[in-house]
Amino acid sequence: MSAPTHIPVLVKETIEALVVQPGGRYIDCTLGGGGHAAAILDRSSPGGQLLGIDADPEAIKIAKTKLRAYSGSTLLINENFVNLQAICSKHGFLPVHGILFDLGLSSLQLNGNNRGFSFQHEAPLDMRLSPNQEVTAADIINTSSESKLAQLIKTYGEEDRSHKIAHYIVKERPLKTTLQLVRTIEQAIGSKRGRIHPATRTFQALRIAVNHELERLEATLKQVINLLGFEGRLVVISYHSLEDRIVKQFMQQESKDCICPPGIPTCVCGHAACLRLINKKVITPSPEEVQLNPRSRSAKLRAAERLITQRKQYKTTERLRSPVGVKTGDRGG
């Protein structure tokens, strides 16, 4: 049997949006199986450099093997991307030509037998990206109040029947495994399959809560501005509306000169645009890509380019079209 793989999504579109060029310096904040990273390294050769980050030590191991031909040009770090600025400062990896986020989970994680991300396999209710995190999905399920569970499932899962599900979870707990949770959800809202499995939204909500996905995405996007050189590109691929909304709002806000509330006669915010939107409409996979890789169907790609700005907090005057030299090696893990 062949080894499990993750098929990267929107690769051509990502490389184009990042304007990957020989000798460029790039950050892949969500290394996963290393598919996008390999494409970036290919296109940025000769002389390209890539800093790859993933919170999951298993992903780093797999990507290291996949990217071994480029080991002189890569720096692979097992860390949460919320520490992006600190990681870049520590390794002197800034400013950069491009930063990529391909959010969510890889197929390797979804199909992994012991991670608890999928409602299709029996596994402990874990859902942590990294074993260093303390709180698991089982902890949340078995210790939260009914109202807190309902609110979490509603907010992070956009699930209308969250109160019913939370009520049944509290009635049936302790729940230890994914399939115990699936059966409880089916008792609460029925097992009829519509467009999506009845457990989809609750599993999404738990995964977001366990990994603080939305807060960390918001906090990390703010750090990106200071790391991109002039004309450097930010590319984000998201897979559900909650993360896409954060990306869209961030890019829109940072591409405006004034963000004062409507109705204020003169600008008091002092905000200066530091990004230019590349694609006003999101980029989505072609029907051919969706057919080849059904997991790509919900992908949305947004891209923006760093502008020169005088705003103190985000000051950039460094032009980045020519390659920047920094000595890197494979210090990941």
Ligand X SMILES: C[S@@+](CC[C@H](N)C(=O)[O-])C[C@H]1O[C@@H](n2cnc3c(N)ncnc32)[C@H](O)[C@@H]1O
With respect to ligand X, which residue has the nearer C-beta, 79 or 231?
79
For residue 135, the tally of other CB atoms under 10 A from its CB is 14
Q: Which stretch binds ligand X (CB under 6 A): 49-57, 172-180, 299-307, 310-318?
A: 49-57
Using CB under 6 A, which residues numbered 185 to 204 contact ligand X? none
Question: Cα separations (Å) of 270 from 243, 252, 307, 311, 322?
Answer: 27, 16, 16, 8, 31
Shortest separation between residue 6's beta carbon and ligand X, angstroms = 4
Distance CA 160, CA 180 (A): 21
- Among 33, 157, 198, 229, interactor with ligand X by CB under 6 A: 33
Binding mask 141-180 for ligand X (x = CB under 6 A): ----------------------------------------
Using CB under 6 A, which residues numbered 90 to 119 contact ligand X? 102, 104-106
Shortest separation between residue 134's beta carbon and ligand X, angstroms = 16
Backbone φ and ψ for 323, nearest 5 degrees, come out as -60, 145
Using CB under 6 A, which residues numbered 284 to 303 contact ligand X? none
- Among 18, 20, 36, 115, interactor with ligand X by CB under 6 A: 36
Hey, what are 132's tokens? 């260093």
Q: Which stretch binds ligand X (CB under 6 A): 74-82, 85-93, 284-292, 304-312?
A: 74-82
Distance CA 219, CA 235 (A): 16
With respect to ligand X, which residue has the nearer C-beta, 43 or 183?
43
| First-residue to last-residue Cα distance in the chain | 27
The answer to whether 129 contacts ligand X (rule: CB under 6 A) is: yes
277 - beta bridge partners?
304
Shortest separation between residue 32's beta carbon and ligand X, angstroms = 2
With respect to ligand X, which residue has the nearer C-beta, 54 or 244?
54
Residue type, 129: L
With respect to ligand X, which residue has the nearer C-beta, 168 or 239?
239
- The footprint of ligand X (CB under 6 A) covers 6, 8, 30, 32-36, 53-56, 59, 80-82, 102, 104-106, 129, 216
